């Protein structure tokens, strides 16, 4: 039975990873770690996954070491992060410490205790920074120009990963994951925030809804979270140690496009108004990636269209 240690186990990506694991039909054992585990998460039930959770501060080395050594995983899926770009501007110290020191703890514990496992180190498309249109689609060998504290921390984690592969021969795979979309995502991300605002208006019987947004002219490569987790599993199975992979859809949509799609799904008219509090000091204008390397190494490719992803978000809001 394969054993998976998942950090950030209370997050929405972890839930979808567990669903994917369960759907494979093979027995698996999972230890989920997070700072706080809600009762809703503790109530997860999957037929093929033996699941246990542990509340733990991943910055506390000794407590994490005890958990990791006693569980002795085959795979570590490192999802835990301070993942909001907007909040990284408000709390840069916390963002940097969480996104680098937690990874360092994991790598050091694996190294010192000789744990024979494969680590999936999750990075972000934000690492590319503000690029020219001629650079699109973004490929893994391009120079990085991180433009916010979150992105800088992710680049640091990536560099540390490569150090541990080269110096200590740890089995680490790296991703630059693009903008996730799906049910159960936190409301401090743009798409669930938009869907929640529109959903609230619909429930109040409004036919014309005012939507407060940040900069909706930016173009992003939105990828369904179900495609994300299938990519992660494919990498654990077939990815090459030390290699870096874009996890993306290969298609770009502006947030303005997203608002139009949501308006059609809800069948209401939406009027947007820029909220200065939602506008970031610096925002990348366009981020669209290439998943060719991931496809070449694993055979993976995305299945879901953005409209399908948005419908999944809306369904979760209305039910």
Flag the least confident range among 13-17, 78-82, 177-181: 78-82
User: How many CB atoms within 10 Å of residue 258?
Assistant: 22
Longest dimension (CA), the chain: 61
pLDDT tens digits, 125-167: 999 998 988 999 999 999 999 989 999 999 999 999 999 999 9
Using CB atoms within 10 Å of the CB of residue 38, give its burial: 0 to 12 exposed, 13 to 18 middle, 19+ buried. exposed
pLDDT tens digits, 18-70: 999 999 999 999 999 999 999 999 999 999 999 999 999 999 999 999 999 99
d(CA 160, CA 111): 13
281 inside domain: no
pLDDT value at position 282?
59
Q: How confident is the model at residue 203 (pLDDT cuts 50, 70, 90)?
A: confident
- Cis preceding linkage at 137, omega within 30: yes
d(CA 245, CA 234): 11
Task: Report the domain count for the chain.
Answer: 1
pLDDT value at position 284?
73
pLDDT tens digits, 283-306: 778 899 999 999 999 999 999 999
276 inside domain: no
CATH for 147: 3.40.50.720
Beta bridge partners of residue 289, listed in sequence order: 138
Query: How much is the mean pLDDT over the chain?
Result: 93
Q: Is 124:174 a contact under the CB 8 Å cutoff?
A: no
118 inside domain: yes
Residue 269 has pLDDT above 70, yes or no: yes
Residue 83 has pLDDT above 80, yes or no: no
pLDDT value at position 280?
65
Instruction: Tell me the two tokens of residue 246.
Output: 């874009």
274 inside domain: no
Instruction: Tell me the two tokens of residue 137.
Output: 């689609």
Mean pLDDT along residues 60-85: 94
d(CA 258, CA 309): 11
313 inside domain: no
Q: Percent of the chain scored above 90 by pLDDT?
A: 77
Mean pLDDT along residues 244-263: 96
pLDDT value at position 133?
85
pLDDT tens digits, 270-287: 888 777 777 767 577 889
77 inside domain: yes
Query: Can you give the residue range of the structural domain that contains 143?
Result: 2-182+223-248+289-303
293 inside domain: yes
d(CA 84, CA 121): 17
311 inside domain: no
Flag the least confident range among 24-28, 136-140, 181-185, 211-215: 211-215
């Amino acid at each position: 039975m394969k054993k998976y240690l998942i950090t950030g186990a209370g997050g929405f990506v972890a839930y979808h990873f567990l669903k994917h694991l369960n759907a494979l039909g093979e027995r698996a054992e999972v230890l989920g770690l997070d700072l706080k585990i809600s009762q809703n998460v503790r109530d997860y039930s999957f037929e093929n996954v033996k699941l246990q959770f542990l509340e733990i501060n991943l910055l506390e080395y000794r407590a994490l070491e005890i958990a990791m050594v006693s569980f002795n995983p085959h795979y570590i899926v490192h999802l835990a992060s301070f993942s909001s770009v907007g909040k990284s501007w408000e709390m840069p110290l916390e963002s940097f410490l969480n996104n680098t020191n937690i990874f360092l703890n994991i790598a050091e514990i694996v190294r010192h205790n000789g744990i024979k496992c494969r680590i999936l180190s999750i990075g972000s498309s934000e690492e590319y920074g503000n690029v020219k249109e001629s650079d699109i689609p973004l490929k893994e060998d391009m120079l990085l120009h991180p433009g916010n504290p979150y992105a800088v921390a992710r680049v640091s984690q990536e560099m540390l990963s490569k150090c541990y592969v080269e110096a200590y021969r740890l089995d680490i795979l790296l991703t630059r994951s693009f903008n996730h979309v799906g049910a159960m995502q936190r409301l401090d991300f743009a798409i669930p925030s938009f869907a929640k605002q529109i959903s609230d208006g619909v429930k109040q019987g409004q036919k014309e809804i005012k939507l407060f947004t940040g900069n909706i002219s930016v173009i992003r490569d939105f990828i369904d979270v179900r495609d994300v987790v299938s990519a992660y599993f494919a990498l654990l199975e077939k990815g090459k140690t030390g290699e870096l992979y874009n996890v993306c859809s290969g298609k770009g949509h502006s947030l303005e496009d997203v608002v139009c799609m949501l308006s059609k799904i809800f069948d209401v008219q939406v009027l947007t108004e820029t909220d200065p509090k939602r506008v970031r000091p610096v925002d990348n204008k366009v981020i669209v990636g290439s998943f060719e390397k991931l496809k070449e190494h694993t055979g993976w490719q995305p299945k879901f269209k953005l409209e399908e992803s948005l419908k999944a978000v809306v369904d979760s809001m209305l039910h």
